[in-house]
Structure 1
Amino acid sequence: MKVYEKHITVQQEDLDAMNHVNNVRYVQWVQDIAEEHWISIADTNQQHRYLWVVLSHHIEYKGEALLNDLITLKTYVSSSEGVRSIRKVEMFNAKTEKLLVKAETNWCLINAETKRPMRIPDEIKGIFKP
């Protein structure tokens, strides 16, 4: 599996009424890193021919992140079969390395022209492997 990684510093607008990162923000970060990973490894032709849509998210919240915390996000595709792909995302406090969030998202590959689900071709499966 190819792991894609990035860092985010928690901003004021990421916080909820309890002054820690809002659960909805974590969901947004899960989607954002998935898109960034796709853009970083798919060529322009692949990006124009294929789209990904979310079928389901499962998220476990393990800890809290606070204002100015540096968060390490890691993602990878754990499996691809038929039209579906399972992507894992983990978020850690970069300073303490404590796991904050663990997510698994079920994605469906869409033909960009027809907007219909399609089997994941080997060329796409291959770009997610090391």
Structure 2
Amino acid sequence: MQIFEKTITVTIDDIDDLNHVNNVRYVQWVQDIAKAHWLAYATEDLLEKYSWFLVNHFIEYKNQALLGDKLLLKTFVPLIENVSTTRHVEIINIKTNQLIVKSEAKWCLIDNNTQRPTRIVSEINQLF
């Protein structure tokens, strides 16, 4: 199982009226890291043939992040089944090592031509 990571710094645009990161921003970061992971390893051929559709998403807010915090976004895919994957994302405060958010989502592979779910081929399975 491959772990894909990215670091970000909380900016003023991420902050809500309570002076911490807006919950909607975490959801965006979860999607962003999933997409970045796919784009980092998928070939042009795979990108042309396939896309991912979010089936369901669970997110748990454990702690808050504040302006200027440096965060580590980690994602991995522990489960691949037929046409779908389960993807985990963790967002961790780098300075304190506190888990800020954890997420689990089910993604379905879509054939770009038919716009229908399609079996995950071994070439994609090997990316994760």
Report how far residue 45 of structure 1 moved: 0.6
- Can you give the 5+ residue segments of structure 2 that lack an aligned partner in the other structure? none
Look up the SS of the partner of 1:17 in the other structure: coil
Report how far residue 22 of structure 1 moved: 0.6
Partner residue, 2:8: 8
Task: Report the RMSD for the aligned CA atoms in angstroms.
Answer: 0.6
- Measured against aligned partners, the alpha-carbon deviations of 1:31-71 in whole angstroms (never above 9, x if no partner) come to 00000000001111111111001011100100000001000
User: TM-score scaled by structure 2?
Assistant: 0.98
Partner residue, 2:29: 29
Partner residue, 1:52: 52
Return the letter of the residue paired with 2:48. H
Q: Percent identity?
A: 52
- Provide the rounded CA distance (Å) in 2 between the counterparts of 1:19 and 1:64: 10
- Can you give the 5+ residue segments of structure 1 that lack an aligned partner in the other structure? none
Report how far residue 17 of structure 1 moved: 0.9
Return the letter of the residue paired with 2:127. I
Look up the SS of the partner of 2:68 in the other structure: coil
Report how far residue 95 of structure 1 moved: 0.6
Partner residue, 2:121: 121
- Provide the rounded CA distance (Å) in 2 between the counterparts of 1:7 and 1:75: 12
Instruction: Please list every run of at least 4 consecutive aligned residues from structure 1 whose deviation after the TM superposition is greater than 6 angstroms.
Output: none
Partner residue, 2:81: 81
- Measured against aligned partners, the alpha-carbon deviations of 1:110-129 in whole angstroms (never above 9, x if no partner) come to 0011111111111111111x
- Provide the rounded CA distance (Å) in 1 between the counterparts of 2:99 and 2:126: 29
Look up the SS of the partner of 1:127 in the other structure: coil
- Provide the rounded CA distance (Å) in 1 between the counterparts of 2:100 and 2:22: 12
User: TM-score scaled by structure 1?
Assistant: 0.96
- Provide the rounded CA distance (Å) in 1 between the counterparts of 2:125 and 2:45: 15
- Measured against aligned partners, the alpha-carbon deviations of 1:74-112 in whole angstroms (never above 9, x if no partner) come to 001111101110000000001111000000010000001
